[in-house]
Structure 1
Amino acid sequence: MPEKTEEKIIKYLRAKGQVSGKELFDHFEISDRAIRKQLKKLFEKELIYKVGRPPKVFYSIKESNKEEESKAIIEKGNEEIINEKFLIITPSGEEKEGIEGFKYWCKKFNLPVEKTAKEYIQTLKKYDLYKKDRLIDGLAKFKSTFEQVYLDQVYYIDFYSIERFGKTKLGQFLLYAKQSQNKAYIKNLITYIKPQIEHAIKKFKIDGIGFVPPTVKREIQIMKELEKAIKPNHRLISITKIKTTITVPQKTLSKLNDRIENAKNTFVVNENGTFKNILLVDDAVGSGATLNEIAKKIRARKICKGKIIGLAIVGSFKGFDVISEV
């Protein structure tokens, strides 16, 4: 019986390691469409994976311990939660979500899948206790950090990371959207968090929104893209990040007083309008100095008649430790 094309491709990939689509096309001398069809089949069977972005995409054999994975039985309810909550980006830049990503993570650390899945669910439940009406209340942390808090409320959409299991799905999402500068990934992030921001706007009867300007120069800025997505339906508050001779990003400062000084002297609220309730949106809250200092400047300008609410995409759990990665 003649060998099937997909079997030939598997053999070739095993022999060569990483192979481009063009190399497969040249080697097998079949149409580009036929090669893509075969690759699609192999993807569906989870026999191969790809790395890179067009036009530089390479294919490799997906090595996995099928016997071990088949023995691992995760309870249906837990499986649904893991599929919703778990995301990992591999060192080679491959995104693995849900059960696939969780099994990969367990294998990487030589952990039993079933037992670890139960422990992961228990850990999530612990952190979910801090959530109320889809948001995490961070005001108590601010009050324990600053002598005076100028925000009426502070919330996170999620924690940046959790004990043992590391960055949350949203933490991973935010970090790699910013670092990769991948437009599609950034768009997906905004689609993911926009409903939560709209929920906060409605919940707190917000009529003015301020987006904290970025301190690190990037071609695509998450906050600017988020501002575009929210702007059509809401009034924006003008907040400016002052350019200094030497730019010192907040994330490079480990001491709280340095962060407060940085925020105090490099952010300006240049707004003359008046608002009833204001929402300040930041991407990642570490110390919280930026949000608090901007709220202080809003108070000084007397442009808010009601409440100032702070909302971070992600926040640190342990005492608002500095988030330096993002």
Structure 2
Amino acid sequence: MKGNTSQKILDFIEDKGQATGNDLTGYLSITSRAVRKQLNKLLSEGKLYKVGKPPKVFYLLSKQKSIANKYDIEPSLKKSIDDNFLVITPSGERLEGSQGFIYWCNKQKLGVEKTALEYGRTLKKYIPYKKNGLIDGMYKLKNTFDKIYLDKIFYLDFYSIERFGKTKLGQLLLYAKQSQDKSLIKELASQIRPKVESLIESFDVDAVGFIPPTVKREIQFMQELERNLNLSLPSLKIVKVKTPIIVPQKTLNKLADRIENARDTIMVNDARQYKTLLLLDDALGSGATLNETAKKIKKQKLAENIIGLAITGSFSGFEVISEV
């Protein structure tokens, strides 16, 4: 009976294109509680996804399809895809791992098995840059600026990789910021917290600082990230000052313009002194914001050592990331 009810729900949504809980309660002539139970089951199986928030929640057929025995992908490669691949569809559906990879390949009109091998080779290209889950960005920073005020700079993953686009962390960061989704920010914070705490322990960090946002949003990503990380360390007060015309960093393509923007609009409003500060930013493009902020902190003698950390960073020569 349960199987019949589930199939009736799927058939109804396929026919109508969408459905609410009330639609299904009336159609099936069962209680709303029974409908919710069936919907939760179908959601967990990946057969449906939902959009909207109560009281306006709609259920749609998922784009995910079962791939069991359909493609000949070597187990270790499949695990690598499952661990690293994420795509957000144009309609906002989140597809992870092999399911997302197959959707992406079909969208690009690419053979799944051949492209999976190429994806595996591409991932291996980036492995040497990671040590203990961190990417050391000092070499590239030294090739970008005449003077470096950061003692170390790391990021947790590349924002994107060749051909396949944004990494899993890059996708989560982009949509957490653009959609101002608190649940995504919480998920992101949960993912990166162990690495942040490990870095704090490794460098004996005694304070943290968060780069303030440059774009006005109702829900500010860095503020939510700080709240969700909930680090047991004092937080240095860093502010973004208002100017007659607000110019977001992401609108500036030239390195010199980004340096000027950071220098003239980001201020350190604190007098407490620390030995080692962990300075966090969301995406590292040119590195101008972190380096200029570190310069101000050191000139005011608020920290002896500054460790920079970005969630993601660009791979090719610290090219500018303008999406986030």
Answer yes or no: same fold by TM over 0.5. Answer: yes
Distance change in 2, residues 1:41/1:282 (3 Å): closer
The answer to whether the 8 A contact 1:51-1:92 is kept is no
Instruction: Report the equivalent of 2:323.
Output: 325
Trace 1:1-326 onto structure 2 (pairs within 5 A): 4-43=4-43, 46-62=46-62, 70-230=69-229, 232-305=231-304, 307-326=305-324
Q: Write the letter of the residue equivalent to 1:205.
A: D
Q: Indicate the percent of aligned positions where both proteins have the same amino acid.
A: 56
Distance 1:299 1:39, change over 3 A: closer
Distance change (3 Å), C-alpha of 1:7 and 1:237 = closer
| Residues 241, 64 of structure 1: alpha-carbon distance in 2 compared, 3 angstrom cutoff | closer
Q: Which amino acid aligns with 1:14?
A: E
The Cα of 1:65 is off from its aligned counterpart by 6.5
Rounded to whole Å, the distance in 2 between the matches of 1:148 and 1:260 is 12
CA RMSD of aligned residues (A): 2.1
Per the TM alignment, residue 10 of structure 1 is displaced from its structure 2 partner at its CA by 3.0
Amino acid in structure 2 at the alignment position of 1:194: R
Summarize deviations over 1:229-269 as a string: whole Å, max 9, x none. Answer: 45551122121211112111101111111111111101112
Assess, with a 3 A threshold, how the Cα gap between structure 1 residues 143 and 91 changes in structure 2: closer, same or farther: same
SS in 2 for 1:325: coil
What is the rounded CA distance, in whole Å, between the counterparts of 1:11 and 1:268 in structure 2? 58
Aligned 8 A contact 2:50 2:58 in 1: yes
Please say if residues 185 and 225 of structure 2, whose CA atoms lie closer than 8 Å, have aligned partners that are also in contact: no
Compared CA separation, residues 194 and 7, structure 1 to 2 (3 A): closer
Mark the CA change 1:280 to 1:28 in structure 2 (over 3 Å): closer, same or farther.
same
How far off is 1:137 after superposition?
Answer: 0.8
Deviation at 1:278, TM superposition (A): 1.6
When the two structures are superposed, what TM-score results if normalisation uses the length of structure 2?
A: 0.93
- Partners of 2:105 and 2:217 in 1: CA distance: 34
Report which stretch shifted further, 69-78 or 172-181: 69-78
Distance across 2 between alignment mates of 1:9 and 1:232: 45
- Alpha-carbon distance, 1:46 to partner: 4.5
Q: 1:138 to 1:32 in 2, by over 3 A?
A: same
Q: 1:53 to 1:128 in 2, by over 3 A?
A: farther
Structure 1 gaps of 5+ residues are none
Please report how far the alpha carbon of residue 281 of structure 1 lies from its aligned counterpart in structure 2 after TM superposition.
0.5
Contact 1:74 1:117 in 2 (8 A): yes
| 1:63 Cα offset (Å) | 5.6
Counterpart residue identity of residue 23, structure 1: D
Q: Is the 8 A contact 2:180 2:221 kept in 1?
A: no
- Indicate if the aligned counterparts of 2:150 and 2:294 stay in contact, CA closer than 8 A: yes
1:80-109 deviation per Cα after TM superposition (whole angstroms, max 9, x unaligned): 222211111111001111111111111111
Give the aligned residue type for 1:12. F
Aligned to 1:276, what secondary structure does the other structure show? strand
Cα gap change, 1:125/1:50 in structure 2, threshold over 3 Å: closer, same or farther? same
Q: Using the TM superposition, give the Cα deviation of residue 50 of structure 1 relative to its aligned residue in structure 2, in angstroms.
A: 2.9
Aligned mates of 1:171, 1:292 — CA distance in 2: 22
Provide the secondary structure at the position in 1 that maps to 2:275. coil
Name the CA shift for 1:154/1:62 in 2 (closer, same or farther; >3 Å): closer
Contact residue 72 and residue 113 of structure 2 kept, 8 A: yes
Please tell me whether the aligned partners of residues 64 and 95 of structure 2 are also in contact (alpha carbons under 8 angstroms): no
